Amino acid sequence: MSAIAGTALVLAIVLPLSMNSSEGGHRSPFQTAYNPYKVNQEDIITNDAHAFHAVLRAPHRYNKHHHLSAIDKVIPTHEDGTKKLTVNTQSIPEGPNNIFASNIKFEMEMINKGVAQFLLTDNDKPRYSIPEVAVKKPKSDNTQTLESLGFNYELDPFSFTMSDPQDSNRVLVSTHD
């Protein structure tokens, strides 16, 4: 997969979920109000104290206009409103290397105290990963819990939050609209 196609796949998957931060109840400028993904109970693969794995599903047909608008909303802008990145979402090509992923495998695992690993992959098509003999990947630590990082999720539409475990009102990361 080329770097451009890989970047486009990441944009197509991650940006509709649109990572955002919430401080003091203010709405994040990164909220997109477009998230076609949900998780059915039968699509939860692992749900224990140390890991959450599930398949996020979206309709095979999606609203391209809303999808591109979501991407536009998370592109950083200067104070005058011009984009910091010269990305024209209308020119993102469609084709076999840049398709909407309807079924995404979501994995959240504890790595060590205070660190979780978050992965999104296409559940329907294999992807290239650097072999573990070349780059050692961290292993999950079953002595640590996702709860210790304030991890919570909702299934429909799918979203997750990570909050300060001492103060659940202090949201550190949220994909909730």
Confidence class for position 55, pLDDT limits 50, 70, 90:
very high
Phi, psi dihedrals of residue 91, rounded to the nearest 5°: -95, 5
Q: Which residues contact 107 (CB under 8 A, 6 or more apart)?
A: 51, 52, 53, 117, 118, 119, 120, 121
Domain count, the chain: 1
Whether 18 has a pLDDT exceeding 60, the answer reads no
Mean pLDDT for the chain?
74
Report the pLDDT value the prediction gives residue 23, as an integer from 0 to 100: 40
Domain that holds residue 79: 3-22+30-124+131-174
Q: How far apart are CA 117 and CA 123, in angstroms?
A: 18
Report the pLDDT value the prediction gives residue 33, as an integer from 0 to 100: 63
Determine contact, residues 22/174, Cβ cutoff 8 Å: yes
Per-residue pLDDT tens digits for 129-174: 778 788 877 777 777 788 888 888 888 888 888 888 888 788 888 8
Per-residue pLDDT tens digits for 82-131: 777 777 777 777 777 777 788 889 998 888 877 888 888 889 888 777 78
Strand partners, 120: 106
More confident residue, 39 or 16: 39
